[in-house]
């Protein structure tokens, strides 16, 4: 591992810790409230612990599938993403997801190889982060392209989207990456390593990540 790879690994670990800090911290806070007498816990505290532990578990399942070994076998990507979104945004704020039939991914799987499932999950996450407040996420797999579109409210500033897009398409140097852009960079690098091309299409209130193979 060279210095650049080490820095990328550190950034990725920072990102993962940030994602998991919220629910795990809430569990710890709930346990602290109970103290040494579990029988004294009220319903609100127990609900906090239960909801937070569930959120942490769902997030862990998603990141393990998205960033773990490709040898993990078949993954239920739709349910993994749904669980992650629920844990991240809560039931009321969760985007509506349009997902294709499993057979639709066959051509992309053939082009992207063993990591195709990880690629899809990471690309979905990248699209969601480029469109904060996403209300609808649609995934479609065509004959020679995978398209992931996130729709929501118009953004006040495009700086955040531009930063993530640059990382996703490989225009950000390793030294300029940070914990906020490392996941998008990884998603793009994974796709390009499989010989696919990646681009971002933006319009008012929507962004689409398009992979051509």
Per-residue confidence band for 71, with pLDDT thresholds at 50, 70 and 90? very low
Return the closest-CA partner of residue 197 out of 137, 124, 149, 146. Answer: 146
Domain holding 58, by residue range, is 3-212
* In contact, 167 and 109? CB cutoff 8 Å: no
Angle between helices 159-168 and 116-130 (to 10 degrees): 160
Mean pLDDT computed over 36-55: 82
| Mean of per-residue pLDDT scores for the chain | 88
User: Which pLDDT score, from 0 to 100, does residue 3 have?
Assistant: 56
* In contact, 94 and 81? CB cutoff 8 Å: no
Q: Which segments within 34-175 are labelled E, that is strand?
A: 96-98, 134-141, 145-152
pLDDT digits (tens, 9 = 90+) for 82-117: 999 999 887 678 899 999 998 999 999 999 998 899
How many independent structural domains does the chain possess? 1
User: Which pLDDT score, from 0 to 100, does residue 2 have?
Assistant: 57
* In contact, 105 and 90? CB cutoff 8 Å: no
pLDDT digits (tens, 9 = 90+) for 151-183: 988 766 678 899 999 999 999 987 889 999 999
CATH number, domain with residue 45: 3.30.565.10
Per-residue confidence band for 132, with pLDDT thresholds at 50, 70 and 90? confident
User: Which pLDDT score, from 0 to 100, does residue 99 have?
Assistant: 95
Task: Point out which residues pair with 151 in neighbouring strands.
Answer: 136, 206
């Amino acid at each position: 591992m060279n210095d650049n790879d080490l820095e990328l690994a550190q950034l990725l670990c920072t990102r993962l810790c940030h994602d998991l800090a919220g629910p795990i911290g809430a569990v710890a806070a709930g346990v602290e409230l109970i103290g040494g007498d579990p029988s004294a816990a009220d319903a609100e505290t127990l609900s906090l612990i239960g909801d937070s532990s569930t959120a942490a578990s769902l997030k862990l399942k998603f990141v393990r599938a998205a960033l773990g070994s490709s040898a993990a076998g078949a993954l239920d990507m739709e349910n993994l993403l749904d669980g992650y979104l629920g844990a991240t945004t809560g039931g009321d704020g969760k985007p509506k997801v349009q997902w294709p039939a499993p057979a639709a991914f066959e051509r992309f799987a053939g082009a992207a190889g063993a990591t195709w499932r990880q690629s899809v999950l990471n690309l979905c996450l990248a699209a969601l982060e480029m469109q904060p407040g996403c209300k609808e996420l649609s995934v479609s797999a065509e004959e020679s392209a995978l398209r992931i579109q996130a729709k929501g409210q118009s953004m006040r500033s495009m700086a955040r989207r531009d930063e993530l897009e640059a990382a996703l398409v490989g225009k950000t140097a390793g030294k300029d990456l940070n914990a906020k852009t490392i996941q998008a960079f990884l998603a793009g690098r994974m796709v390009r390593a499989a010989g696919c091309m990646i681009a971002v299409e933006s319009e008012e209130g929507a962004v689409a990540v398009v992979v051509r193979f």
